[in-house]
Amino acid sequence: MKIGFIGLGIMGSPMAGQLIKNGHDVYLYSRSQVPEELTSAGGLACQNSSEVASCAEIIILMLPDTPDVEKVLFGDDGIISTLSKGQTIIDMSSISPIATREFASQLATKNVSYVDAPVSGGEVGAKNATLTIMVGAHQSVFEKVEPIFKLMGENVTRVGDIGAGQVCKVANQIIVALNIEAVGEALLLASKAGVDPSKVRQALMGGFASSKILEIHGERMIKRTFNPGFRIELHQKDLSLALGTARSLGLSLPNTSTAQELFNACSAAGASGQDHSAMVCALEQLAQHKVAES
Catalytic residues: 169
Rounded CA separation 61/185 (Å):
36
For 250, counting Cβ atoms within 10 Å of its Cβ (0-12 exposed, 13-18 middle, 19+ buried), the class is exposed
Question: Distance between CA 87 and CA 234 in Å, rounded?
Answer: 29
Contacts of residue 60, defined as CB under 8 A and 6 or more positions apart, other chains included, come to: 3, 4, 5, 6, 15, 16, 90, 91, 92, 148
Q: Which of 139, 121, 138 has its CA nearest to residue 130?
A: 121
The Cα–Cα gap between 48 and 45 comes to 9
Which residue(s) pair with 157 in the sheet?
A: 134
**Alpha carbon distance 120, 155 (integer Å):** 10
